Amino acid sequence: MSNWKRILVTAASATTALAVLAGCGTNSATSTSQSTTSTTGASSGNVITVGTLYASTGAFATSSMPEYQGLQFWAHEVNAKGGVLVKATGKKEKIQLVSYNDQSSASTAINLYNQLITQNHVNVLVSDFGSVLTSVAVPIAQENKMVLFDQTGTGASFFTPNNPYIVLTSLPTSQIWPNSLANYIIQSGIKKVGILYCENDFDQSQEATLVQKLQAAGITPVYNTGVPTSTSNYSVLVHNLAATNPQMVVELGYPNNDIAFLQAVQSTGVKFNKTFMIFPGQLPTMFEKDFSKQQLSGLYTYPTPPYINYTNVNYGLPLPQFEQKFEQFSGKNHINFLNVAGYTTGLVIQKALETSPSLSQSALRQAVSSFSGQMNTLDGTFQINSEGAQTGETLPVGQFTLNSSGNLAMNILK
């Protein structure tokens, strides 16, 4: 952890980048004959096709689109240099993204993942954002013996000894996320913890780890309730939580859940001494649209790049260069973690193509294992276990504060 540095916080023109994104909105998720194909300078031959899904609408759009744009940026950067030097062909090959809009629908995603494999015959398969939209890709990839480059689907159940066709690229598996949070709670002497979590692989695996570690330290949560991921009104839940007088509240959900929870806290006037939630540390600009900086100050979360600057990068762009180039590419003033996650996924694919002697799926998977633990990106150390689960990119606990200029800053605690 010594290489964490606190900070406050693509070569196409911005016009080109925005035109690509505008095209995303016109693609119909229900019409599998239409795709948004981002060639980023690739010719019709000598290309490596990378198939993926994104969500331009629906519950996951605010997370999926920045992640997809990070992957687009990677493809653009590679193609601007003539492509990837693919070991299997002995020459540079350009990257062609073949992508479909699943509109945040898991049922739609099933058909589109199948289309990428069986009709588009892509060389590389990449999942959409998060565990919900990745969950349907895992069995499809395994059945078709296709390696799934899993960007941010961190549900623990995806990684099993009998499935060699998955690699988690940009985050650790969610069951190890709460290790730092549990340590913070225990070391801070907090005894009364209230937990509210969404009933999906991502959040349930975090709840299970957190409860296990707290109970091992003699701490039994005073409140522990699961709710549907579709929950949008938390007012009653907030009152129920408050009735248990928790010293710290842990809300585990997706961005929409986090925002709805905070809105309920504000509207009910309930005050919690300490509140932790997942996504403000990944998407701070999104939260600043709904809440003032003063309201967000004091909130606990998992800080991620760009709040963390890893200084030992040996593959890909370091954070300052990434920020500069990505802002030029996208026309955005600020990057977020999901831009980093999409770019990191591209780096893992690139390294696999440079390393693997064959384009077969088994060879690509073996190549990934061969450089596991040796590749340091702006997202930390890329390291996976035998099941393809990410173990190197650990997450600390941080707290938002206001700096002297009145802007949000991150205090990294554990």
DSSP symbols for 116-133: HHHTS--SEEE--SHHHH
Classify strands 408-412 and 398-402 as parallel, antiparallel or unpaired.
Answer: antiparallel
Label residue 155 by pLDDT band (50, 70, 90): confident
- Cβ distance 351 to 149 under 8 Å? no
| Mean pLDDT along residues 50-65 | 95
Classify strands 300-301 and 398-402 as parallel, antiparallel or unpaired.
Answer: antiparallel
pLDDT of residue 29: 36
Label residue 45 by pLDDT band (50, 70, 90): low
Q: At residue 156, does pLDDT exceed 90?
A: no
Q: What is the mean pLDDT of the chain?
A: 89
pLDDT of residue 184: 97
* b/e sequence 140-165, b meaning 16+ C-beta within 10 Å: bbbebebbbbbbbbbbbebbeeeebb
The 10s digit of each residue's pLDDT in 282-308 is 889 899 999 999 999 999 999 999 999
Q: At residue 109, does pLDDT exceed 50?
A: yes
In terms of phi and psi (left: phi > 0; alpha: psi -120 to 50; beta: otherwise), the region of 83 is left
pLDDT of residue 11: 28
Lowest mean pLDDT among 14-28, 44-58, 246-260: 14-28
Q: At residue 357, does pLDDT exceed 60?
A: yes
pLDDT of residue 27: 37
- If you write DSSP's letter for every residue of 311-376 in order, what string do you get? S---SS--HHHHHHHHHHHH--S---HHHHHHHHHHHHHHHHHHH-SS-SHHHHHHHHHHHTTTEE
C-alpha span between 39 and 51 (Å, rounded): 12
C-alpha span between 378 and 372 (Å, rounded): 15
Fold match, 47-172+311-382 / 175-307+397-412: yes
How do the domains of the chain map onto residue ranges? 47-172+311-382, 175-307+397-412
Is the domain 175-307+397-412 a CATH 1.10.10.200 member?
no
The 10s digit of each residue's pLDDT in 111-133 is 999 999 999 999 999 999 999 99
C-alpha span between 306 and 101 (Å, rounded): 27
| Mean pLDDT along residues 256-278 | 96
pLDDT of residue 15: 29
CATH number for 47-172+311-382 (one of 3.40.605.10, 3.60.20.10, 3.40.50.2300, 2.60.15.10): it is: 3.40.50.2300
Cis peptide before 357 (omega within 30 of 0): no
